[in-house]
C-alpha cells in the first residue's frame, strides 16, 4: 500500500533520440509488478512505447521523443479491485498503490501520483510526461498529473487516450460518465465553456473553436441529440473524418459538442480526430536542434548518397529528416567506420 511495498530498481532509456534538455521525454513507471516480473514489465513497456510511436500524430514527431523505463518492484502483483464497483475485492500491496473503482467507476484506475512524480523527478528530472502501467488485465485507466493504464487487452489504446488528457490537456469527447442508461445527471452540459480545445458548448460556425477546420459544405451543428435523456447512438450522418459539431461530449448527452463523430478521446481503437492531432503537434517540439556528431558506420556509402535532399532513414536518425550539412562534404569518399558529422533537420527536405 506504500513505498514500503517495493523498491525502485533503476532506469533504462529505451528510446534515445537526443538530449533531454530539448527533447520530449516520456517516463514509464510500473505498479504491481513483483521483482520476478521485470522481464514482463519491460515487454509491456515496450509494447506501449511501440504503439505510441506507430500512432498518428506521434508518427510525425518520433524523433523529438525519448522514452525512459523506470523499474519499480512491488510486494504483490496486480492492483486493488474493490467490491463497491463490482470488483473481486482483491487487494495488492504495491509501490504506487494503484486501485480500480474511483468516483464509483471500476474502470477509473488511480494511484499515488505524488509518489509517482517523486520517483520520476529522482530518476529522469527532465521528464515531460509520466505514464504508469499497472500489472492487471482488468480494463482501466485515468489521466491526471500522471497518466495510468492497466494492461487490459486494449492497454495501448488506454495509454494513448490517457496521454491525451495528461500531456495534451484534451477532454473526454464521450457523452456519459458512469455509462449510457446509468447516468441520471448527464442530460445537459452546464453553460460554462470547457477550457479544452476538443469540446465546446458552442455550435456557432462563426465562433466555434475549430471553425478553421470545418468545410463550408458541412452543416453546423452536424448532428444534434433528439433525446437529451439518452446517449445518441445513431450512425454518423456524414463520412468518417468530417469535422463539424456533434452533440454529446465532455460527459453530457446535450449542449456540448465534439469535432468529429468519433475520436480516440471518445472511443478506443479510433484515430485521434484532427483537432486532437493538431493539439498534440502543438505541444510536442516541432523542431529539435540540429543533430551533429552522429557516428555513422557505413560512412562511405552514406556520404555519397546523402547530399542535400535525400531522407536519412533507418539507424541514422530517429525518424524522417534530411541532411543539410555534413563533414566530409557530399560526394567525398571516406572509409567505412570513419566518423561523419551530420546535421539533420526534421520535416520535408526543401524543393
Nearer to Zn ion, 119 or 273 (CB): 273
Nearer to Zn ion, 143 or 319 (CB): 143
Q: Is 249 in the site for Zn ion (CB under 5 A)?
A: no
Identify the CA nearest to 42 among candidates 178, 135, 117. 135
CB of 305 to Zn ion, least distance (A): 40
Q: How far is CA 256 from CA 196, 198, 235, 241, 278, in A?
A: 12, 10, 18, 19, 20
Nearer to Zn ion, 263 or 299 (CB): 263
Build a one-symbol-per-residue string for 256-275: x at contacts with Zn ion by CB under 5 A, - elsewhere.
-------x-x-------x--
Q: Among all chains, which residue has been given the C-alpha cell 487487494?
A: 91
Closest residue to Zn ion using C-beta atoms: 263
Of the residues 65, 276, 280, 344, which one makes contact with Zn ion according to CB under 5 A:
276
Nearer to Zn ion, 26 or 273 (CB): 273
Residues 32 and 90 sit within 8 Å (Cβ to Cβ): no
CB of 340 to Zn ion, least distance (A): 42
CA separation for the pair 174, 82 (Å, rounded): 25
Identify the CA nearest to 202 among candidates 251, 262, 249. 249
Q: Which long-range contacts (CB under 8 A, 24 or more apart) does 209-218 make?
A: 209/275, 210/243, 210/259, 210/274, 210/275, 213/243, 213/259, 213/274, 213/275, 213/278, 214/243, 214/244, 214/245, 215/242, 215/243, 218/242, 218/243, 218/244
CB of 14 to Zn ion, least distance (A): 28
CB of 88 to Zn ion, least distance (A): 34
Nearer to Zn ion, 119 or 197 (CB): 197
By CB under 5 A, how many residues form the interface with Zn ion?
5
CB of 251 to Zn ion, least distance (A): 15
Nearer to Zn ion, 213 or 298 (CB): 213
CB of 267 to Zn ion, least distance (A): 10
Mention every residue, 6+ apart, whose C-beta is less than 8 A from residue 78: 32, 90, 92, 94, 135, 136
Q: Give the interface with Zn ion as residue ranges (CB under 5 A).
A: 198, 263, 265, 273, 276
Amino acid at each position: 500500500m506504500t513505498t514500503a511495498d517495493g523498491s525502485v530498481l533503476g532506469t533504462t532509456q529505451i528510446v534515445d533520440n537526443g538530449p533531454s534538455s530539448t527533447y520530449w521525454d516520456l517516463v514509464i513507471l510500473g505498479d504491481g509488478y513483483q521483482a520476478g516480473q521485470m522481464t514482463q514489465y519491460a515487454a509491456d513497456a515496450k509494447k506501449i512505447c511501440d504503439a505510441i510511436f506507430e500512432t498518428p500524430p506521434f508518427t510525425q514527431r518520433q524523433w523529438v521523443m525519448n522514452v525512459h523505463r523506470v523499474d519499480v518492484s512491488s510486494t504483490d502483483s496486480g492492483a486493488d479491485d474493490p467490491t463497491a464497483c463490482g470488483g473481486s475485492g482483491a487487494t495488492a500491496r504495491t509501490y504506487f498503490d494503484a486501485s480500480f473503482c474511483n468516483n464509483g467507476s471500476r474502470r477509473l484506475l488511480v494511484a499515488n501520483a505524488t509518489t509517482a512524480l517523486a520517483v520520476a523527478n529522482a530518476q529522469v528530472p527532465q521528464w515531460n510526461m509520466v505514464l504508469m502501467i499497472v500489472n492487471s488485465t482488468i480494463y482501466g485507466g485515468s489521466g491526471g498529473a500522471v497518466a495510468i493504464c492497466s494492461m487490459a487487452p486494449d492497454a495501448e489504446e488506454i495509454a494513448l487516450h490517457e496521454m491525451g488528457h495528461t500531456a495534451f490537456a484534451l477532454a473526454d469527447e464521450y457523452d456519459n460518465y458512469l455509462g449510457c442508461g446509468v447516468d441520471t445527471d448527464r442530460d445537459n452540459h452546464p453553460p460554462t465553456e470547457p477550457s479544452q480545445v476538443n469540446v465546446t458548448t458552442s455550435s456557432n460556425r462563426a465562433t466555434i473553436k475549430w471553425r478553421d477546420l470545418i468545410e463550408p459544405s458541412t452543416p453546423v451543428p452536424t448532428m444534434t441529440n433528439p433525446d437529451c435523456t439518452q446517449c445518441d447512438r445513431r450512425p454518423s450522418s456524414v463520412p468518417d473524418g468530417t469535422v463539424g459539431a456533434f452533440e454529446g461530449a465532455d460527459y453530457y448527452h446535450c449542449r456540448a459538442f465534439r469535432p468529429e463523430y468519433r475520436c480516440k478521446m471518445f472511443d478506443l481503437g479510433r484515430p485521434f480526430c484532427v483537432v486532437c492531432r493538431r493539439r498534440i503537434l502543438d505541444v510536442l517540439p516541432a523542431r529539435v536542434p540540429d543533430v551533429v556528431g552522429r557516428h555513422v558506420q557505413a560512412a562511405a556509402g552514406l556520404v555519397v548518397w546523402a547530399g542535400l535532399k535525400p531522407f536519412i532513414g533507418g539507424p541514422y536518425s530517429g525518424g524522417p529528416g534530411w541532411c543539410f550539412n555534413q563533414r566530409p562534404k557530399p560526394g567525398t569518399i571516406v572509409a567505412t567506420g570513419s566518423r561523419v558529422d551530420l546535421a539533420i533537420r526534421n520535416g520535408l527536405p526543401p524543393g
